[in-house]
Amino acid sequence: MLSNRARLALTDIRDNIRLAEQFAVGLRRTFYAVTRCLEIISGAARRLPQSLRNRHPELPWRAIMGAGNVYRHDYDNVAEEIVWQTVQNNLAPLLAAVERELARAPKNTEGGQKP
pLDDT at position 35, please? Answer: 94
Write the secondary structure of the chain as one string of H (helix), E (strand) and C (coil).
CCCHHHHHHHHHHHHHHHHHHHHHHHHHHHHHHHHHHHHHHHHHHHHCCHHHHHCCCCCCHHHHHHHHHHHHHCHHHCCHHHHHHHHHHHHHHHHHHHHHHHHHCCCCCCCCCCC
- Mean pLDDT, consecutive 10-residue stretches, the chain (115 aa), reads 88 91 87 94 96 97 94 87 92 96 80 53
pLDDT at position 34, please? Answer: 94
